[in-house]
């Protein structure tokens, strides 16, 4: 559920931490693949109309297992890849799915879908997008310029049976262009919720409105703690995946 820039920021954080030793990454080859894997699930796949096709869970049914395990069960060729770049890409995909799992279970469900604050569920859905945009803009600012270059160096080679190389490459380039140029988050989210980028910008830049709509209900300290727990969970799941692959 977090945006690609947020996923990239957390992936970069993991790669720069001691936890990255679990992956035994070659910086020149596998880091770009891990970064692309960390955003690949959000690529636009016209032939697929279900979230389950790329995220391996839906919002309308309970998760019966970790989505990354469902992905490997449905796509056994990803379980023990022999290509080091593909292994890093799959690890990035696992990291993405683990973040989304925690977000869906611990944030989206209890605080937005089933929350009791705000005037309605529709209002909470709107505020959810304000939160995601605020995180997106914060995290894009933290991305070093070399992240775009690393992404562009990654060349998929028939890695996914459910997503073509062309789609992955187009998504890679779309994100890299925004890192070095102009973000399209406001336009994309505005179209999704029927608000203009100008309307969203006005609310996001107003501390008073953001407090009234969001931060009085979910405080900055609560959100910071939540994000740390989400990161820790994603690292734990990645460690499980890495140990599985080393057997």
Single pTM value for the model: 0.94
* Per-residue DSSP letter, 211: I
Q: Measure the CA–CA gap between 218 and 111, rounded to whole angstroms.
A: 9
Per-residue tens of pLDDT for the chain, all 247 residues: 899 999 999 999 998 876 655 555 665 568 999 999 999 999 988 766 667 889 999 888 888 999 999 999 999 999 888 888 999 999 999 999 999 999 999 999 999 999 999 999 999 999 999 999 999 999 999 998 899 999 999 999 999 999 999 999 999 999 999 999 999 999 999 999 999 999 999 999 999 999 999 999 999 999 999 999 999 999 999 989 988 754 4
Which among 37, 73, 235 has a CA at the least distance from the CA of 150?
37
Instruction: Spell out the domain ranges in the chain.
Output: 4-245
């Amino acid at each position: 559920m977090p945006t690609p820039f947020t996923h990239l920021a957390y992936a970069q954080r993991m790669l720069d931490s001691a936890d990255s030793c679990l992956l035994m990454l070659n910086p020149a080859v596998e880091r770009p693949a891990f970064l692309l894997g960390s955003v690949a699930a959000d690529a636009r796949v016209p032939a697929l109309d279900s979230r389950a096709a790329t995220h391996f869970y839906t919002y309308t049914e309970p998760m019966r297992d970790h989505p990354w395990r469902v992905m490997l069960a449905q796509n056994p060729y990803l379980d023990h890849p022999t290509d080091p770049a593909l292994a890093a890409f799959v690890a990035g995909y696992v990291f993405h799915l683990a973040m989304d799992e925690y977000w869906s279970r611990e944030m989206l469900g209890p605080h937005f879908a089933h929350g009791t604050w705000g005037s309605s569920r529709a209002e909470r859905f709107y505020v959810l997008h304000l939160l995601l945009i605020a995180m997106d803009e914060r995290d894009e600012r933290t991305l070093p310029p070399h992240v775009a270059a690393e992404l562009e160096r990654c060349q998929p080679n028939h890695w996914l049976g459910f997503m073509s190389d062309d789609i992955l490459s187009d998504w890679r380039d779309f994100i890299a262009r925004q890192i070095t140029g102009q973000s399209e988050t406001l336009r994309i989210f505005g179209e999704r919720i029927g608000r203009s980028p100008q309307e969203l910008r006005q609310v996001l830049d107003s501390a008073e409105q953001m407090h009234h709509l969001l931060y009085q209900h979910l405080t900055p300290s609560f959100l910071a703690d939540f994000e740390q727990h989400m990161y820790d969970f994603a690292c734990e799941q990645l460690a499980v995946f890495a140990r599985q692959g080393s057997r």
